[in-house]
Amino acid sequence: MFSNVTYLTIGGFVEVEKYRLLYFFVLFSVYIIIICSNVTIVCLIWRHQNLHEPMYVFIAALLCNSVLFGTVIYPKMLIDVLSEEQVVTYPACLLQCFLIYSLYGSEFMLLAVMAYDRYVSICKPLQYPTIMTKSKARGFLVLAWVVPSAQIAVPNILVADMKLCSFNLKGIFCNNMIQKLHCVTSVTVSVYGVFVLINVTIIPVCFILFTYGKILVITSRSGKEVRKKAAETCLPHLLVLINFSCLVTYDVITVKLEADFPRIVRLVMTVQVVLYHPLFNPIIYGLKMKEISRHLNRLFCKETIEMID
């Protein structure tokens, strides 16, 4: 099924032999922080009854995405920095690429669902319980994970049999750079890629901006309390959207422009993608969402008191 060339070289690391232990320590520490920070907030949402509202359930799903994203990338990087050769099989690279972009797509879909949830909550508060039911919330979650995965699986299947003419991947994990390794560029894959990009990225972002625009217009005519509620619940979502959109834009631009950056510059910029995305969400929602922040303060204050005693 796959090309007769089995292994690809991961060529994005700089002087691995010299800084092997430093790479491992930094990556392992960041991975542990990603797991602990995201899982802590997810557990708080699961444990406390007052956080079982759709908004917090969607936040928990977003944080689970961050854990999955970190798990798809960091363990392989940890293995690479401890290995004499940084290699990956072509099928495994395609799988990692599929998982990363599926999670990218589900992130945008979840943010779009959260924007709709905030619109109904703020602009139609009396109808909110009947519109945003538990079954509808579960349906949105399923769609947010299934729709991007189903669409992104297609180009991965189409390129699985394509011949490779280059075996050196300029990065520290598998992303769309893998397309540059093929001997010929498939027009079908390129066109379908644009279709998927529009479906799982541009349309959700446009919907989010339209929805928050409507919220802004409606709340500007309302009282101070309504505006305060809108700011408290919408601002974290917008910050996450802006941050994530910048990271995805960088990923797309570097692939399309084929910019020949020095290895150290490419490494630093790529590390920012895998570092900021899974850590930004728990920081923003932990600090900016009042109910989550309150429960976090209680949790850590309680643990501090127990340690003193």
Structure confidence by residue, pLDDT tens digits, 224-234: 777 777 777 78
| Number of domains observed in the structure of the chain | 1
Q: Does residue 30 lie in a domain region?
A: yes
pLDDT in tens, 230-265: 777 788 888 888 878 877 777 777 666 555 667 777
Q: Does residue 2 lie in a domain region?
A: no
Q: Does residue 276 lie in a domain region?
A: yes
Q: Tell me what pLDDT residue 146 has.
A: 93
Model confidence at 86, in pLDDT bands (50, 70, 90)?
A: confident
Average pLDDT score, the chain: 83
Q: Does residue 1 lie in a domain region?
A: no
Q: Determine the structural domain holding residue 223 and report its residue range.
A: 7-308
Q: Does residue 20 lie in a domain region?
A: yes
> How distant, in Å, are the alpha carbons of 59, 207, 267 from that of 130?
21, 22, 49
Q: Does residue 38 lie in a domain region?
A: yes
Average of per-residue pLDDT across 270-293: 78
Sequence-ordered list of residues with C-beta below 8 angstroms from that of 260, at least 6 positions apart, any chain: none
Q: Cβ distance 181 to 165 under 8 Å? A: yes
Q: Cβ distance 97 to 83 under 8 Å? A: no
306/308 Cα distance (integer angstroms): 5
Model confidence at 48, in pLDDT bands (50, 70, 90)?
A: confident
Q: Of residues 209 and 299, which shows the higher confidence score?
A: 209
Model confidence at 5, in pLDDT bands (50, 70, 90)?
A: low
Say if residue 308's pLDDT is above 90: no
Q: Tell me what pLDDT residue 305 has.
A: 45
Q: Of residues 275 and 78, which shows the higher confidence score?
A: 78
Q: Does residue 22 lie in a domain region?
A: yes
10/240 Cα distance (integer angstroms): 30
Q: Does residue 267 lie in a domain region?
A: yes
Q: Of residues 243 and 35, which shows the higher confidence score?
A: 35
Q: Tell me what pLDDT residue 257 has.
A: 58
The candidate with the shortest Cα–Cα distance to 178, out of 21, 1, 10, 2, is 10
CATH number at residue 242: 1.20.1070.10
Sheet with 87-89: strands ordered across: 87-89, 7-10, 168-169
Burial 59-86 (b: 16+ CB within 10 A, else e): bbbbbbbbbbbbebbbebbeebbeeeeb
